[in-house]
């Protein structure tokens, strides 16, 4: 599966494979559109890079962190547009998309819906038996989204 922590500045992604209660991290990274480009160019870049990841790894599902509701409406709208680019990429590839709220992801991985990004990174590192937390935190957030899907999959 492809786990994604969407953002217009930095989008974290991870490829997790799950078989018989075993989870393996296959790949991870970030997508960073040029901050000097126009919004349409940045959204297109995000769309094209997600397409490349889909072509390379052929995930069965895509799991995206849902937008959180902040006081900054403009930031929330831009995040929504970034999520839209990712979801459109999945739709064109005919790959199902699952979305989880940030609090649900944190609760699933840390047992605390208000966990910090650092706590999420620590737990992801332990669960996936990594030598050190991946950086930046957008990557560990994408891993947490994928782990949340695995934890919830038996109920879906």
User: Are the C-beta atoms of residues 145 and 4 closer than 8 Å to each other?
Assistant: yes
Q: How far apart are CA 113 and CA 92, in angstroms?
A: 32
Any idea which residues carry the catalytic annotation?
A: 5, 65, 138
Q: How far is CA 70 from CA 53, 55, 57, 77, in A?
A: 29, 33, 33, 10
Q: Residues with Cβ < 8 Å from 83, sequence gap 6 or more?
A: 6, 64, 66, 67
How far, in whole angstroms, is CA 139 from its chain's centroid?
8
Q: How far apart are CA 87 and CA 155, in angstroms?
A: 22
């Amino acid at each position: 599966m492809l786990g994604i922590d969407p953002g217009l500045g930095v989008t974290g992604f991870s490829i997790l494979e799950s078989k018989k209660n075993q989870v393996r991290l296959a790949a991870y990274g970030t997508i960073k559109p040029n901050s000097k480009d126009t919004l349409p160019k940045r959204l297109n870049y995000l769309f094209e890079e997600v397409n490349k990841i889909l072509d390379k790894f052929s995930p069965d599902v895509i799991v995206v962190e849902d937008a959180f509701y902040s006081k900054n409406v403009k930031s929330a709208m831009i995040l929504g547009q970034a999520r839209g680019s990712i979801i459109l990429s999945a739709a064109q590839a005919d790959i199902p998309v699952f979305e989880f709220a940030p609090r649900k992801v944190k609760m699933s991985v840390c047992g605390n819906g208000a966990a910090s990004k650092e706590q999420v990174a620590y737990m992801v590192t332990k669960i996936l038996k990594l030598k050190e937390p991946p950086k930046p935190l957008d990557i560990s957030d994408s891993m947490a989204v994928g782990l949340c899907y695995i934890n919830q999959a038996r109920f879906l």
